[in-house]
Amino acid sequence: MQYKRKIKKKNKKVRNATPLKYNGIQFKSKLELYCYKKLKEAKLLFQYEENKFELMPSFTFENDSYELFKRKGVRTFGLQRPLIRSINYTPDFVGTYAFNPEIIGWIIETKGNPNDAFPLRWKLFKYYIYRNDLLLDLYMPRNQKQVDEVIEIIKSKNEGLLQRKKGK
């Protein structure tokens, strides 16, 4: 059985975001750019969208699975044994705290308006961190005021690590 009805879908990757280019870097939103500028201003060490985490590896589903799929542009219902794609997550900003770069780090994920798929991916990412015993602090500011608060928290933790290093 074939279905020829075409369904238009909106791009749900980023909602209400304005892509901007700054210093040769393409940012997905104004909030990302704001965070980037504030991190630079605070002289914190970080990377922008350079780290990718594989939350679930790809695999081939060997059992029977009858579902809708596209074949030559036509939606068809039938038996599928497709290769299931991996689930990956690339955080916006990844950085390290002073004097402890190999052990403790932080991730900032700027989210003004998350799409409907993001909460599940975020939960899977937290599970990935838990399962792999990673010492990462997570921050998800949703506006400029929260970005400022996050940067102050990171700076405060940096100063605490510096004080402990000097005290030893």
- CA-based end-to-end distance of the chain: 73
Average pLDDT over the chain, rounded to an integer: 85
Q: Is a pLDDT exceeding 70 seen at residue 35?
A: yes
Residue 51 half-sphere exposure toward CB, CA atoms < 13 A: 17
What per-residue confidence (pLDDT) applies to 72? 87
pLDDT value at residue 26? 94
Q: Tell me: the pLDDT tens digits for 43-80?
A: 998 999 999 999 999 999 888 888 888 888 899 898 88
Residue 7 has pLDDT above 60, yes or no: no
What pLDDT shows up at residue 103?
61
Contact, 69 vs 82, CB < 8 A?
Answer: yes
Domain with CATH 3.40.1350.10 in the chain: 30-52+90-168
Check whether 3 has a pLDDT greater than 60: no
pLDDT digits (tens, 9 = 90+) for 71-82: 888 998 988 877
Q: How confident is the model at residue 93 (pLDDT cuts 50, 70, 90)?
A: very high
Tell me if 136 sits within 8 A of 106, measured CB to CB: yes
CATH 3.40.1350.10 fits 30-52+90-168, yes or no: yes
pLDDT at 21 over 70: yes
Tell the residue number behind the tokens 């990171």, with chain if given.
Answer: 154
Cβ neighbours of residue 41 closer than 8 Å, sequence gap 6 or more: none
- SS3 readout for 101-159: CCCEEEEECCCCCCCCCHHHHHHHHHHHHHHCCCEEEEECCCCHHHHHHHHHHHHHHHH
pLDDT of residue 147: 97
Q: Does 142 have pLDDT greater than 50?
A: yes
Give me the pLDDT at residue 11, please: 45
Q: What percent of the chain has pLDDT over 70?
A: 82
